[in-house]
Amino acid sequence: MSNASVLFDAPGPRARTLSRVLSIVTALLVAGGLLWMFLVLNAPKESGGITLPGMFDESRWDIFTDPELWSFIIGQGVANTLRAAAVAAVLAIILGIILSLMRSARSPWIRIPTAVLIEFFRGMPVLLMMLFILLVFSTGDYWAVVGALAIYNGALIGEALRAGLAALPRGQREAALSLGMRHLQSKMLVEFPQAFRQMLPIIVAQLVVLLKDTSLGFIVGYPELLRTTMNNLSSFYGNRYLFPLWVVTFLIYLAMNLSLSWFARWLARRGDRRYRTGGKAGGAPEPDPNQGLLMAEASAEARQAEAPPR
Amino acid sequence: MDVVIDNLPRYLEGFGMTILLLIVSGLAALVIGTVVAAMRISPVATLRTVAAFYTEIVRNTPLTLVLIFTALVLPYLGSRLPYVIAAMIGLAVYTSPFVAEALRSGINGVPVGQAEAARSVGLGFRQTVSLIIFPQAFRMTIPPLINVFIALTKNTSVAGGFFVVELFTVGKELANANGQAVIAVLLGVATFYLLITVPLGLLAVQLERKWVVQR
C-alpha cells in the first residue's frame, strides 16, 4: 500500500489540475498561517502602560552574540545532556541484553520473574522512577536520571531483543545444537548475534527516545540542556529572553534528535537491503521501527502457537 | 502501607486527574493524528509535505520542552489558559504524530496486492477502501494505537512537573510529607499507573494475537 495510485484510476487532466490547485492553495494557507504567527509574535505588546518590543525584536536576541552564553549552553547544557544520554544508553543496552537472555531462559524460575520485572518497569513512568531513585537511594540528580533511563529503556530493549530471538527460524538453534553446541553456546554464538542485528534499528530508535527523555532532568533538578537554558539562563537574563531561549533550545534538541533519527533510519535501510534481496521494487515505505517489533512479536507468537515448547 | 491507605482519597484525586488528562488529550491526539495521517496519504503534494514535516518536527521534540512552551512560555506571550488545559494541549500535540504514524503504518501494512485484486474485480475507489483496505488496516492499527496510549498514560506524569496536580504530584508531596515511608508511597503511585498500563498492554497483546493476519 505504499503507492496509493492503485486505489484509483490514473488522474485525467481535470483531476490533475484540481490536485495542483489544491496543492497551491494549501501552500498559500500554510505560508499565510506562518506569516500570521510571525506577525502576532512580532507585534509590540502593551502591558501596564509600557510597550514591550515584539518577540523578534533585536533587543530580545542580543544575548546570543555573547560567546560566553554559547559556551555555557554547550559546555554545561548540551554536554550534560549528552553525557547522561551516553552513559544511560550503554547501561540500557547492557541491561537489555541481560534481560533478554534471562527472559528467554529455559528455566521458568528465571524466565517468569524476569517477565514480571520487565512488565513492571515498562508500565511505569520514567519520571516516577527518577523520583524513586532520587528519594530512596539519595544518589543525587545525575544518577537518578541515568539510572531511571537505563532501567526503563533497558526493559524495552530487552523486550525487543527477546522478540528478535523468538522470531529467528528454529533451524538456527537446531543446527547449532546438532553441531554439539550447548544451549548457552548456541544462544550466545548463533542466535543472539542475529537477533541483535535484526533489532538494531529498533534499539537505535529507542535511544532517540532516551535522548529525548533526558529532558526530564529538568523536573528532578539535573542541570541538562533544558534546565540550563530555561531555568539558569532565563532567570539570569530575565523573562524577556524566555521565548528566544526556548526557540534556541528547541533548535538544539531538533538538531541532536534528527541526526540520531536519521542514523536509525539509515541503519534500518541498510539492514533491509542486506537481508531482503529482491523484495518490493521501487519506493519502499520508510521502515517503521514499531511495526518491525510488532511483526517480530507476531511471527514469534505464531511460531510458539504452532509448535510445542522447545 | 498505612500511609497509602490513610491517603487513599488523595491518591484517587490524583488518579482521577491522570485519567482525565489521558482521556482528553488522548481523544484530541486521535483527532489531530487522524487528520495528519489523512494528509500524509492524500494525493495533494503540499499536504503530504506539510504533514511529514509536522510529524518529523514534533516527534523529535522532547515532551518536557513542549510542556514548557504551553505552561511557561505561552502565559508570557499572553495566553490565560489554566495549567490543566495547557498540559492537555501539550500532551495532545506531542502524542498526535505517534498516532498518525500508527495509523499510517497500519494502512501501509496492507499489501498492494489486496488493492490490486479489488480493483481488478471491478471495485471502485470507495469500495476498495471501505471494503478491502480499511477492515484490514484497522486490525493492524489498533495494537500500535494502544501502545501509543500506554505511552501517553506514562507521559501524563510529566504534566505533574508543570503545576498540574495529578498522580505524580500527589506522590511527590506525600513522599515529602512522609519521609519514613517513601518506598511505600511511591510504590502506591506506581500501582495506580500499572492499573492503567498493564491491562492496556494485555489488551494489545490479546488483540494482536487475534487479529494479525498471517501472511
Q: For residue range B143-176, what is the model confidence (pLDDT) as tens digits?
A: 889 989 999 999 999 998 888 999 999 998 998 8
Cβ separation B154–A125 shorter than 8 A:
yes
Residue A184 reports pLDDT greater than 70: yes
Rounded CA-CA distance A294/A41 in Å is: 43
Closest CA to B158 of B20, B9, B21, B11: B21
Instruction: Please state, in angstroms and rounded to a whole number, the distance separating the CA atoms of residues B85 and A174.
Output: 57
Is the pLDDT reported for residue A289 higher than 60?
Answer: no
Second CATH level (architecture) for the domain B15-163: Orthogonal Bundle (1.10)
Residue A102, CA atoms < 13 Å, CB-side half-sphere:
18
CA gap B63, A86 in Å, rounded: 20
Smallest Cα distance from B28 to chain A, Å: 21
pLDDT at position B115 is 85
d(CA A161, CA A156): 9
CA separation for the pair A271, A161 (Å, rounded): 16
The residues pairing with A47 across neighbouring beta strands, listed in sequence order, are A50
Which residue in B42, B53, B60 has the most chain A C-beta atoms within 10 A of its own C-beta, making it the best mutation to test that interface? B60
Q: A275 or A176, which is more confident?
A: A176
The whole-number pLDDT of residue B215 equals: 56
**Binary contact (B171, A119; C-beta < 8 A):** no
**Among A55, A125, A257, whose Cβ lies nearest the Cβ of B168?**
A125
CA-based nearest distance B10→chain A, Å: 17
Joined grid coordinates for residue B101: 504514524
Is the Cβ of A252 closer than 8 Å to some Cβ of chain B? Answer: no
> What is the per-residue DSSP string for A228-281?
IIIIIIHHHH-GGGHHHHHHHHHHHHHHHHHHHHHHHHHHHHHHHHHH-SS-S-
Q: Which pLDDT does position A4 carry in this prediction?
A: 52
Contacting residues of B for A230, CB less than 8 Å apart: 68, 72
- CATH code of the region A63-269: 1.10.3720.10
Looking at the predicted structure, is the pLDDT value of residue A309 above 50? no
**Whether B186 and A135 lie within 8 Å, measured CB to CB:** yes
Q: B186 CB near a chain A CB, below 8 Å?
A: yes
Provide the 10 A C-beta neighbour count for residue A191. 18
The residue of chain B with its CA nearest to that of A22 is: B44
Q: Which ranges in B41-166 belong to alpha helices (H)?
A: 45-59, 63-68, 74-77, 83-108, 112-120, 125-127, 134-159
Under the phi-then-psi rule, with left for phi > 0, alpha for psi from -120 to 50, and beta for the rest, what region is A70?
alpha
Q: What is the pLDDT of residue B212?
A: 66
Convert the pLDDT of each residue in B198-215 to its tens digit: 999 889 888 878 876 655
Please report, for residues A72, A82, A84, A119, A196, the alpha-carbon distance to residue A78 in angstroms, rounded to integers and kept in the order given. Answer: 9, 6, 10, 32, 30
Q: From chain A, pick out residues whose CB is under 8 angstroms from the CB of B50.
A: 26, 30
Average pLDDT over residues B46-72: 91
Residues of A in contact with B65 (CB under 8 A): 215, 226, 246, 249-250, 253
* B45 HSE (CA, 13 A, CB side): 8
Rounded Cα distance between A120 and B191, Å, is 9
Cβ distance A136 to B186 less than 8 Å, yes or no, reads yes
Nearest to A224, CA basis, from A81, A126, A72: A81
In chain A, where the domains are located: 63-269
Widest CA span in chain A: 86
Q: What is the nearest CA distance from B51 to chain A, expressed in angstroms? A: 11
Q: Chain B partners of A248 at a C-beta cutoff of 8 Å?
A: none
pLDDT (mean) for B23-44: 89
Of B62, B214, B93, B38, the closest CA to residue A219 belongs to B62
Q: Which of B207, B196, B3, B2 is nearest to B106 (CA)?
A: B207
* Cβ atoms of B64 and B161 closer than 8 Å: yes
pLDDT of A305 reads 55
Range with lowest mean pLDDT among A254-263, A269-278, B43-52, B71-80: A269-278
The answer, yes or no, to whether residue A281 has pLDDT greater than 50, is no
